[in-house]
């Protein structure tokens, strides 16, 4: 991975086809991205974030990242100088975006954005709304230990794989106890928590591709559609069916 430097001089809007990628790069400014539709997968060396439509992701200046669209999407973004960080965040985070902030991003990144004082006034509104935007726990940390990476690759290839940690350990050459300790040390999560997050990320991408809720539940490893619906609701504040129909809630 050799990220390139990309200059941002203002708001951007870029349509993305299903599974289209934007390669590794970084900016010297802070960036707020609000996907217009679909799901935007944001990857960094430390982890990945699944960003549904009507959410936002904050990318601090200097952080290498790459994007991948799941479902037809649209990358809309605002940028702020590196010293302007209303959230005080040093690493990326997915944010709950208010309806007002969403509309401001929509206007400023539109084909005919306002100019001069009107533009600056809307930028101030965006910063004020950012101060109030809660971060959501949607990160999937990327482990660095080779055994954990092998295990992560196995489950990323098939999130419905229901083998226990002991059984997966036999496949990657490590004991259950060792893997459990490494997961907590490297990701800040237990193995069940990490696997649940992986399954939620996978479910979002399948929903964006138009799969049915029942088939997504099976493909992502839930024991039943009702268990999947409840886990999804707790994570995203809406049901999978409503998310597909409406793109998720806006406060």
Report the distance separating Cα 211 and Cα 218, nearest Å: 11
Q: Looking at residues 29-36, what average pLDDT do you find?
A: 93
Closest C-alpha among 138, 125, 85 to residue 248: 138
Confidence of residue 1 (pLDDT cuts 50, 70, 90): low
> How far is Cα 23 from Cα 68, in angstroms, rounded to an integer?
9
pLDDT for the residue numbered 38: 86
Helix (H, G, I), strand (E, B) or coil at 177: helix
- Is pLDDT of 137 > 80? no
Q: Left (φ > 0), alpha (ψ -120 to 50) or beta: where does 182 sit?
A: alpha
* Predicted pLDDT of residue 202: 94
Which residue's structure tokens are 């994570």? Answer: 235
Confidence check: pLDDT of 251 > 60: no
- Please indicate whether residue 236 or residue 203 has the higher confidence score (pLDDT): 203
pTM: 0.85
- Closest C-alpha among 62, 73, 54, 64 to residue 29: 62
Rounded mean pLDDT of 169-175? 97
Contacts of 118 (CB under 8 A, 6+ apart): none
Coil, helix or strand at residue 237? coil
User: Which of the four pLDDT bands, split at 50, 70 and 90, describes residue 249?
Assistant: low
pLDDT in tens, 112-135: 999 999 999 999 999 999 999 988
% of residues, the chain, pLDDT over 70: 98
pLDDT range class, residue 185, cuts 50, 70, 90: very high
| pLDDT beyond 50 at 150 | yes
pLDDT of residue 54: 80
Structure letter (DSSP) for residue 201: H
CA–CA dist 82, 59 (Å, integer): 10
The mean pLDDT value of the chain amounts to 92
Q: How many beta carbons lie within 10 A of that of residue 189, not counting itself?
A: 18
Q: What is the per-residue pLDDT for 209?
A: 84
**With pLDDT > 90 as the criterion, what percentage of the chain qualifies?**
74
Report, in angstroms and rounded to the nearest whole number, the Rg of the chain calculated over CA atoms: 19
């Amino acid at each position: 991975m050799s990220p390139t430097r990309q200059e941002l001089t203002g708001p951007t809007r870029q349509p993305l086809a299903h599974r289209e990628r934007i390669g590794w790069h970084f900016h010297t400014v802070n960036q707020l991205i609000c996907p217009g539709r679909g799901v935007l997968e944001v990857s960094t060396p430390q982890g990945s974030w699944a960003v549904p439509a009507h959410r936002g992701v904050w990318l601090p200046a200097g952080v290498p990242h790459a994007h991948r669209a799941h479902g037809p999407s649209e990358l809309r973004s605002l940028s702020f100088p590196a010293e302007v960080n209303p959230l005080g965040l040093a690493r990326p985070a997915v944010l709950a975006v208010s309806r007002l902030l969403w509309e401001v991003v929509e206007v400023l990144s539109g084909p005919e954005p306002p100019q001069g004082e009107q533009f600056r006034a809307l930028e101030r509104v965006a910063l004020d709304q950012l101060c109030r935007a809660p971060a959501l726990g949607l990160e999937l940390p990327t482990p660095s230990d080779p055994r954990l990476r092998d295990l992560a690759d196995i489950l990323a290839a098939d999130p419905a794989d229901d083998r226990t940690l002991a059984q997966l350990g036999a496949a990657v050459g490590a004991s259950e106890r060792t893997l459990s300790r490494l997961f907590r040390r490297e990701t800040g999560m237990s193995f069940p928590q990490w696997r649940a997050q992986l399954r939620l990320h996978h479910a979002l991408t399948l929903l964006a591709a138009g799969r049915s809720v029942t088939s997504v539940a099976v493909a992502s490893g839930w024991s039943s559609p009702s268990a999947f619906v409840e886990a999804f609701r707790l994570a995203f504040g809406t049901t999978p069916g409503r998310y597909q129909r409406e793109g998720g809630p806006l406060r």
